[in-house]
Each structure stands twice: as C-alpha cells, then as structure tokens.
Amino acid sequence: MDLSETVQNRSNSPHRSVLLNEVIEYLSIKDGGRYLDCTFGAGGYTRAILSKGDCYVTAIDQDPTVIKFANDLSSDYGDRFNFIQTNFSEVASRLQGKNFDGVVLDLGISSMQVDQAARGFSFMQNGPLDMRMSVTGMSAAEFLETASEQEIADIIYKYGEEVQSRAIAKNIVYYRQTDRIDTTLKLAEIVRQSKHYRSEKIDPATKTFQAIRIYINDELGALERFLANAEGLLVPGGRIIVVSFHSLEDSIVKNFFKESSVKKIAKSKYSKEINNFPEGKWLQIITKKPLVPSRAEVQDNPRSRSAKLRVAEKIRGNHVT
Ligand SMILES: C[S@@+](CC[C@H](N)C(=O)[O-])C[C@H]1O[C@@H](n2cnc3c(N)ncnc32)[C@H](O)[C@@H]1O
C-alpha cells in the first residue's frame, strides 16, 4: 500500500512527507513498539507509523505552531501518541531512561514554514526576515543588523556554499547603513544585485537564504548534538533513520554512521547478542548508499528532489569496556 496517499488525504496535510514508504519500511513497525519522530512537522511520518501497528510514538518539534497537528493525532490515537515541543538536540536529556525501537529525523523546514510569508523563510514572498523555526532567539534580520561583514561572508560561504559570498556581504553592510534589512524581499533583492554572474538554474538568492537559515537555527550543531547522544535512545536492534536535504547535513550523518559502525559483524553459530564491540562502535549501517526519491515522487513533489535517506541499526552486542 502506498502510505503517502493515505496519510496526505486523511490528514489533509499542508506538508507532503518525503520518502514516506521507505521510512516506514525501514522502521519495520511492530505491535507494542516505541518510535521517536524527532521532526514531527505536520505529523505525516507519525500518522503513518501509528496506522501501521498497535505501537506508540513520541514526537518532537521545536516549532510551537505544529501543536494543532499534534492535537489531531492525540484525539485520533489517545495515549499511543505524545508530543514534546523541544529541539531534538535536547531529546536525550528530556527523555532520559527511555529508549525506542526506531528513531527518525526528517531534517530542514516544512512546507508550512516555507509557504507562510510571515515566517520569513521564503525569497519568493514578502515577509519579516525571521527564519526562526522555534520562534525564539535571534532572527535573521537581527543577525544581519549586528554581524560583521566578515562573519556574514563566512556564514554565507560555509552554509550556502555560495562562492560570491564576499560580494553579497559587502552589499548587505553597505545597504544597512541607510535602511534596515528586515524583509525577505529586501534581502533577496540585495543578493540578486550582488551576484556578478548567474550560472545556476536556481534563484540567485537560494544559497544565501539557505545559509542564513541554517545558521539562525544552528541546524548542523543540533544534528551533531543529537547524534552524539543517540545511542542511549535506541534499544539493541533499534534503527535510526535520517532524511537530509543538502550535502552538509548528509555528510554529518554519513560520517557519523561510518565512525560509529563496525564493518563486519562476526558470523558465528551463536546469536549476535554474544558479540563484543569496542566503545564508540555501536551501529551497523543498513543502507550502504543513501536512498533517493523515485522519479515519480520528485515529479509529484519537487521539494523531495534533493532528499537522501540513510539507515543504521544499533548492534545487539555488548560493548567492551
Ligand atoms: C521536513 S519537516 C518534517 C515533516 C514531517 N516528517 C511530516 O511528514 O510531516 C521538519 C520539521 O522538523 C522541525 N525541526 C527541524 N529542526 C529541528 C530541531 N533541531 N529540533 C526539533 N524540531 C526540528 C521543523 O520545525 C519542521 O517542523
């Protein structure tokens, strides 16, 4: 059964879940199982998990505006579902002692966030230059008001891989001497005018918006902190599934899986339970190469086009101390 149809239609979701069937397949949902959805969004993954078996889901999102979707799930599934509004980098301390049969992260922003001009993520529509998923902390406008030219250039280069970052930062600092850069369209226009050449097919503002968004939400730092504490969140044999949308995220996941994994689990006539593994090696990689959306999915949902899915499983053995 194609779950995406069921989920999107049933919940009339404003966000189309990416790689949903693949996520559900790799989670291998079982009755009585406990699952952790670290990026709840409109609840597409959570709803699909709950509909697959008589299981339990704890869902996390830092965005307070998703609570209405969480309330819908609560009324449909009662105590099989609970929601915590927090950053997933905090989840290990918030859920101390709890562990799960599967943990899933679907990184980045949701369609609700990007499509609402008032959230300030989009260079296509005018809105306040905000970009805060949690609606707290420093906004993008405040960052551009206070940061030095060098800092702005470095961030646009590092998180946007934008080679014209210096010219853009220079113009931002020039512009802010006379006017606040407090709307999305003001920033988009400054970026478009700063770029000397435009070889890309994408809007010239794409990379700068991505960079500032990643910085404002500390997206890569949150992912690293989450992964560093993920071992305690999984039962032996539990799976971690990450869907990422750009190479900076994907390489963090790829490298973490590689560094934390054993290449070969010794084949013995005994079960895996008796194997011992060195400290820090607690994973077995399930997807040697990342899975990507089918051509049909990309056609149906172009926002899925850069998605990559990686899966690893917590080893069932004991650590050598
Ligand atoms: C791509 S959407 C998830 C969509 C969801 N899988 C669905 O099917 O509806 C990503 C969500 O993760 C949330 N998010 C991103 N980074 C987060 C973090 N560090 N902590 C908690 N939530 C985060 C965003 O607020 C957003 O709602």
Does 123 reside within a domain? Answer: no
DSSP output for 187-208: HHHHHHHH-S----SS-TTHHH
Residues 155 and 250 grouped into a single domain: no
Residue 125 lies in a domain: no
Separation of CA 201 and ligand 1 centre (Å): 27
Question: Each residue of 211-259: pLDDT tens digit?
Answer: 999 999 999 999 999 999 999 999 999 999 999 999 999 999 999 999 9
Q: What is the pLDDT of residues 52-97, one digit of tens each?
A: 999 999 999 999 999 999 999 999 999 999 999 999 999 999 998 8
Kindly state if the Cβ of 297 falls inside 6 Å of ligand 1.
no
Final residue before a domain boundary, out of 216, 235, 259: 216
117 belongs to a structural domain: no
Residue 305 clears pLDDT 80, i.e. is over it: yes
Interval between CA 98 and ligand 1 midpoint (Å):
21
In total, how many domains does the chain have? 2
Are 50 and 182 in a shared domain? no
Which residue, of 216, 240, 265, is where some domain finishes? 216
pLDDT grade for 163, boundaries at 50, 70 and 90:
very high
Q: How confident is the model at residue 11 (pLDDT cuts 50, 70, 90)?
A: very low
Residue 269, pLDDT > 60, answer no
Residue pair 58/36 in contact (Cβ under 8 Å)? The answer is: yes
Assign 271 a pLDDT band (cuts: 50, 70, 90).
very low
Nearest to 223 by CA among 204, 201, 251, 197: 251
**Confidence band for 278, pLDDT divided at 50, 70 and 90:** confident
31 is in an annotated binding site: no
Based on the fold, state whether residues 96 and 141 are members of the same structural domain.
Answer: no
- Known binder of ligand: residue 106? yes
157 CB near ligand 1 (under 6 Å): no
The reply to whether 142 and 287 lie within a common domain is: no
Average pLDDT of the chain is 92
Q: Does 138 have pLDDT greater than 60?
A: yes
Those residues whose C-beta lies under 8 Å from the C-beta of residue 247, and which sit 6 or more positions away, are 161
Cβ 39 under 6 angstroms from ligand 1: yes
What is the Cα–Cα distance from 86 to 236, expressed in whole angstroms? 25
Residue 9, pLDDT score? 41
CB-ligand 1 contact for 87 (6 Å cutoff): yes
Find the 68 Cα to ligand 1 centroid distance in Å. 14
Q: 9 and 89 share a domain?
A: yes
Q: Is 203 exposed, middle or buried (0-12, 13-18, 19+ CB in 10 A)?
A: middle
Q: What is the CATH number of the domain that holds 168?
A: 1.10.150.170
User: Which residues span the domain enclosing 232?
Assistant: 3-112+220-316
224 and 257, same domain (yes or no): yes
Query: In this structure, what CATH number is given to the domain that contains residue 30?
Result: 3.40.50.150
Residue 108 CA to ligand 1 centre (angstroms)? 6
Residues 102 and 230 in one domain: yes
Share of the chain above pLDDT 90, in %: 83
Reduced to 3 states (helix: H, G, I; strand: E, B; else coil), residue 96 is coil
Q: Give the mean pLDDT of 120-129.
A: 96
Whether residue 261 sits in one domain with residue 206: no
Of ligand 1's listed atoms, the one at least distance from the Cα of 245 is: 1
Give me the pLDDT at residue 264, please. Answer: 64
Q: Which of 166, 197, 216 is the last residue of a domain?
A: 216
